[in-house]
Structure 1
Amino acid sequence: MKHDLVRAHGADPISYSTLQAGLSYFETSFGYIAYQRALGFDLTLGPPVCAPGDRAALLQRFLQAGRRPLFFYVQRDIAMLAAELGGARYRVSGMGVDKVLSLEAPDAGRSSRVHGALKKAVRGGFDVVEVRPSALDSGERARVDAITRAYLRRSSVPVEMRFINRPLTLEDDGLARMFLLRQGVDARVFGYAVLDPYFEEGRAQGYLLNLIRFEPTRLWGVYYAVVATLAARLREEGVPQLSLGFCPLYGVDTEGCTPGLARQVQWMERRFAGVDYLARLRELKDAFPGMTPQRYFVTPSPWAVTALLSFLRATGVPFGELIRQRFTDKPREGRGTLPATASSA
Structure 2
Amino acid sequence: MTPDEIFESYIKPYSQGCCMHYSILQPEMQYFQHEYGLISYIKKYGCYFVLADPIFKYSEKEFRVELIKKFLNKYNRVSFVQISKQFAELLNDEFNYYSTQIGNERLINIQKWKISGKRKQVIRTSCNQVAKNEINILESPLENGFDTISSNWLRTRQVKKREIKFLIRTHPYFEIDTRTFCAYDSDGNLMAYIIFDPIFENGRCVGYVPDISRSSAKFKQGIFYAIMVEAIKKFKNEGFEYLNLGLSPLILNSNSKSFESEKLRSIFKIIRKYGAKMYNYNGINYTKSRFIDESAKEKEGVTNPVYFCHKSPLPLFKITAVFKASNVI
> TM-score normalised to the size of structure 2?
0.86
Pairing partner for 1:124 from 104, 127, 133: 133
**1:218 and 1:94, CA in 2 relative to 1: closer, same or farther beyond 3 A?**
closer
Match of 2:13 among 3, 8, 20: 8
Instruction: Tell me the distance in 2 between the aligned counterparts of 1:304 and 1:227.
Output: 37
Show CA shifts across 1:10-45 (max 9, x none). Answer: 220111111111111112234211112123321111
Task: In structure 2, give the amino acid aligned to 1:68.
Answer: R
Matched residue pairs, number? 305
Matched-pair contact (CA < 8 Å) for 2:82–2:308: yes
* Conserved? CA contact 1:62–1:69, under 8 Å: no
Residue equivalent to 1:44: 50
Q: 1:263 to 1:199 in 2, by over 3 A?
A: same
Deviation at 1:245, TM superposition (A): 0.9
Q: What is aligned with 2:200?
A: 199
For residues 173 and 53 of structure 2, what CA distance do their matches in structure 1 show? Answer: 26
Residue deviations 1:74-111 (CA, integer Å, cap 9, x gap): 11111111223323xx3222221112111121314442
Whether 1:74 aligns to 2:79 is no
Letter in 1 for 2:259: C
Higher mean C-alpha displacement, 17-26 vs 245-254: 245-254
Give the equivalent residue in structure 1 for 2:165: 162
Q: Distance in 2 between matches of 1:247 and 1:219?
A: 22
Q: Is the 8 A contact 2:139 2:180 kept in 1?
A: yes
Distance of 1:19 and 1:28 partners within structure 2: 17
Aligned residue for 1:273, secondary structure, equals: helix
Aligned to 2:247: 246
Alignment partners' CA distance in 2, 1:41 and 1:262: 23
Flag the 1:115–1:74 CA change in 2: closer, same or farther, 3 A: same
Matching residue of 2:34: 28
Q: What are the ranges of 5 or more consecutive residues in structure 2 without an aligned counterpart?
A: 293-300
* Structure 2 residue identity aligned to 1:6: I
Question: Does residue 1:285 correspond to 2:292, yes or no?
Answer: no
Residues 63, 86 of structure 1: 8 Å contact kept:
no
1:86 & 1:39 partners in 2: Cα distance? 23
Matched, 1:181 2:186: no
Note if contact 2:24-2:51 (Cα within 8 Å) is conserved in structure 1. yes
Contact 2:19-2:208 within 8 A present in 1 as well: yes
Shift in Å, 1:270: 4.9
Q: Which residue in the other structure is 2:323 paired with?
A: 312
Q: Where does residue 222 of structure 1 map in the other structure?
A: 223
Q: Is 1:62–2:71 an aligned residue pair? A: yes
For 1:48 and 1:189, how far apart are their aligned partners in 2? 38
CA distance in 1, matches of 2:315, 2:225: 33
Question: Deviations 1:47-76 (Å, cap 9, x if unpaired)?
Answer: 001233342222111111123110111111
Shift in alpha-carbon separation, 1:279–1:43, aligned structure 2, 3 A:
same
Counterparts of 1:79 and 1:201 in 2: how far apart (Å)? 21
What SS does structure 1 have at the residue aligned with 2:151?
helix
Shift of 1:123: 1.0
User: Do the aligned residues in 1 keep the contact of 2:27 with 2:173 (CA within 8 Å)?
Assistant: no
Q: Which amino acid aligns with 2:150?
A: T
Which amino acid in the other structure matches residue 50 of structure 1?
Answer: F
Residues in 2 aligned to 1:206 and 1:262: alpha-carbon distance in whole angstroms: 34
Distance 1:97 1:170, change over 3 A: closer
Contact 2:209 2:243 in 1 (8 A): yes
- Percent identity between the two aligned chains: 22
Instruction: Report if aligned partners of 2:215, 2:224 keep a CA contact under 8 Å in 1.
Output: no
Q: Which amino acid aligns with 1:264?
A: L
Aligned partner of residue 302 in structure 2, secondary structure: coil
CA–CA distance in 1 between the matches of 2:52 and 2:81?
Answer: 6
1:253-308 per-position Cα deviation (integer Å, ceiling 9, x unaligned) = 521224xx224314522552364410111111111103110011211222143343
CA distance in 2, matches of 1:69, 1:228: 40
8 Å contact kept, 2:182–2:190:
yes
| C-alpha distance after superposition, 1:130-183 (max 9, x if no partner) | 233xx45xxxx4x3111121122222233121111111016542x222222212
